[in-house]
Amino acid sequence: MEWKRLLEILDGHKVFIQTHNFPDPDAIASAFGMQKFLKYHGIESAICYNGNVDKISIVKMLDNFHIEMHPYNELEIKETDYVLLVDGQKYNANLTDIPGDEVACIDHHPIVKECDYLYQDIRMVGACASLVAEYFCESKTPIDENTASALMYGIRMDTDSFGRGVTRLDIQMFEYLFSYAKVSLVDRMVNDNIELADLRAYGAAIENIQIYEKTGIAYIPFDCQDALVAMISDFILKLDAVTVSVVYAEKDGGLKFSVRSEEENVHAGNLVSCALAGIGQGGGHFDMAGGFVPKESRIKEKDVENKVIYQRFMGALETITT
């Protein structure tokens, strides 16, 4: 990480910080942290995204930490403006190509396609917020309570409170943030993560879960936000009989997938990418991944489609583990 070089690159430009679409707490915390970091060093920026942020936990996060972010199409972004990507990468399916030049990227996802950013800091850690916290820590930039709390919340959410994908840096940055954050508020936010309306989706997943050996597959037959599908996939993985979970739901006429793995020889990103090859796309980390099948590739009959999805994942499991 070369924080001075990042500042040199962005200095004198109009800067937009972009998160992946339908940003989650880690993406928002990372964007907010970088905005505060840049501001302290004299660089103004605006945070932008695509997709909605209407989940109550996200609304509360923006409210509690006084975070301002905008749908990208409500901002005036010129082709020559600079874009700093956080918690996502150029050419990812879940990151819209907005006007502006993607000159920098800070992320913790595997690289799917190499890009010629002027600055890139892509490291495999539990949360992107840990990388961002390190910018403050390393440069001795003062951090305020809201920023520290937001980053701590991002780390806890993306690591499922230190139960998933944790690295030493996540722990070190949690320790660093501990002195500055409002820990009790973060605790409360983490524990209040499920909304009453979410229960309908949990119910649907519980009702139609199929378990084959140690893989649990569940379909939610109505539109669900990405974040909720991910939460339900985490939930299914908590079953003792399940070490790989695949949850998929309707989304804009297509199907949205969330995959989790705690199986040593099953890479969740490879699994979803292999299972959806030819009908959609997917990818991600070893332990968590996502995917999408567009409307055009769908099969009309629900029963047949569910069977096909099931078979594709079973086939993919065999392919990637042998």
Residue with tokens 């820990």: 183
The Cα–Cα gap between 195 and 159 comes to 20
Output the smallest distance, CB 157 to Mn ion, in A.
Answer: 9
Report the residue number, 14 or 164, with the smaller CB distance to Mn ion. 164
Output the smallest distance, CB 284 to Mn ion, in A.
Answer: 10
The Cα–Cα gap between 64 and 25 comes to 12
C-alpha 206 chain-centroid distance: 24
Output the smallest distance, CB 158 to Mn ion, in A.
Answer: 5
The Cα–Cα gap between 126 and 246 comes to 20
**Please, is 186 exposed, middle or buried when counting C-beta atoms within 10 Å of its C-beta (0-12, 13-18, 19+)?**
buried
Output the smallest distance, CB 101 to Mn ion, in A.
Answer: 23
Report the residue number, 81 or 158, with the smaller CB distance to Mn ion. 158
Output the smallest distance, CB 260 to Mn ion, in A.
Answer: 14
The Cα–Cα gap between 26 and 29 comes to 5
Nearest residue to Mn ion, scored by beta-carbon proximity: 26
By CB under 5 A, name the binding residues for Mn ion.
Answer: 26, 87, 128, 158
Residue 75: how many other CB atoms lie within 10 Å: 15
**Please, is 121 exposed, middle or buried when counting C-beta atoms within 10 Å of its C-beta (0-12, 13-18, 19+)?**
buried
Beta strands (DSSP E) in 244-315 are: 244-251, 254-261, 281-284, 288-293
Report the residue number, 24 or 81, with the smaller CB distance to Mn ion. 24
User: Would you say 259 and 271 are in contact if contact means Cβ atoms under 8 Å apart?
Assistant: yes
Nearest Cα residue to 107 out of 70, 139, 132: 132
Output the smallest distance, CB 30 to Mn ion, in A.
Answer: 7
Output the smallest distance, CB 309 to Mn ion, in A.
Answer: 26
What's the angle, vertex CA 138, arms to CA 137 and CA 142, rounded to 5? 45
